[in-house]
Amino acid sequence: MQYLKKYSLLIFSVLSLLLSFYMFWQIIHKDIATDIQSHSLHTINYLKAGMFPIPPLYFACIYAFSGFSTDVKVLNEVAIYILAICFFLKYWYSNRLIQSNYIEEKSVATKQELQLITFLVLFAAPLVESFAHERLFLGKMASNVWHNSTSIAVMPFVVLLFHQSIKFIKNSQISTSNIVYILVLSIVNLLIKPSFLFAFVPAFSLILLIKYGIKHKKFWVGLGIATLVFLTIIIEYYLIYEMNIYGKLYNTGSKAEIVIRPFYILALNSQNIPIDIYLSLLFPIICVVFFEKEIKQNTILQYTLWLFAFAFIIGMLLAESGSHASHGNLYWQVILVNYLLFLVFASFAYNRIKMWGFNDYKSLILIVAFTWHVLSGWVYMHHIVTTKSFF
């Protein structure tokens, strides 16, 4: 038992690496059609046309680590290793975030318990209420993905940016190194997948306004950071939409535009949007109900909820036109932030459960809901491997 306590972080880290490697190996070697293979093909097609995909960082990594190969099989093999490492880093940085006690200043949970909770959140998924459903992902609001390489690759840097922004929000002093970390991590996000920044810019600005007020220097410095990040998003928007490199490469006709289409992405695959949202967010919804008073006093819980609110509003209101319409490129931030929502509230809830006792009715409800989400995630992983579909 002492051995497990001493090496628990190593054990969970190795498990996250091995399990993710297994999933990505299955996807590639069982020829399960996902965005991973599509992104390898995109890399080759762009290179043949003398161009490079935007955002470029993930594609540059698989190209460089493949020895600059243009063989799709080689790129797919390299993707297995890169994505498994990214999944491992997602766990590692998530654990660092939670262990820093930013979520609950007086934690009664042990390090090992929080490491376990963090590990379990890696597999949380929308609730599976019936095995008759053919689709367990599309039409719902997932908190983890296995099929989209850029979302998997960006997630460790989403967690790091979230962590650094929390430091900025909580510390009364302004740290130059903290500002540099936020800006650098924002650029890394932008170069892999900018989705999280869509929610980060408004939520970060708003929580600083709420905490410090409009006259405080901290708010204006934070607003300056958010403005710089927003400007980088505008530049990337111009490169993607105005230059229309994707459309020119694949001859898709008119260039894609951002349009207002309420619930368009969910409506493509959901037969009942309110029910699917409920099944996706049961655990966080229960947490909000049970911890209403704590949320009013806890800046980090508020920040996480504001991140999700902005991610949700953008994902539900905006979509793309033309050939990009069903790609969901303005929806990915919902999934990225939903992971943070589960991570933050799971660690907070576990502290409360230990204080209340495991036999308390609130504790039982939280445990059942969280366990159901995690088991659904394992069912979804089994579904991918056995049906050869991530849908």
Mean pLDDT by 10 residues, the chain (391 residues): 81 98 98 97 94 95 98 98 98 96 72 96 93 80 98 98 97 95 98 98 98 96 98 94 79 79 93 95 98 95 98 95 79 98 97 95 98 98 96 93
pLDDT of residue 231: 98
Task: Report pLDDT for 130.
Answer: 72
Q: Can you give the pTM of this predicted structure?
A: 0.96
* pLDDT at residue 370 in the model: 98
Residue 242's pLDDT is 83
The three state secondary structure string of the chain is: CHHHHHCHHHHHHHHHHHHHHHHHHHHHHCCCCCHHHHHHHHHHHHHHCCCCCCCCHHHHHHHHHCCCCCCHHHHHHHHHHHHHHHHHHHHHHHHHHHHCCCCCCCCCCCHHHHHHHHHHHCCCCCCCCCCCCCCCCCCCCCCCCCCCHHHHHHHHHHHHHHHHHHHHHHCCCCCHHHHHHHHHHHHHHHHHCCHHHHHHHHHHHHHHHHHHCCCCHHHHHHHHHHHHHHHHHHHHHHHHHHCCHHHHHHCCCCCCCEEECCCHHHHHHCCCHHHHHHHHHHHHHHHHHHCHHHHHHCHHHHHHHHHHHHHHHHHHHEEECHHHCCCCCCCHHHHHHHHHHHHHHHHHHHHHHHHHCCCCHHHHHHHHHHHHHHHHHHHHHHHHHHHCCCC
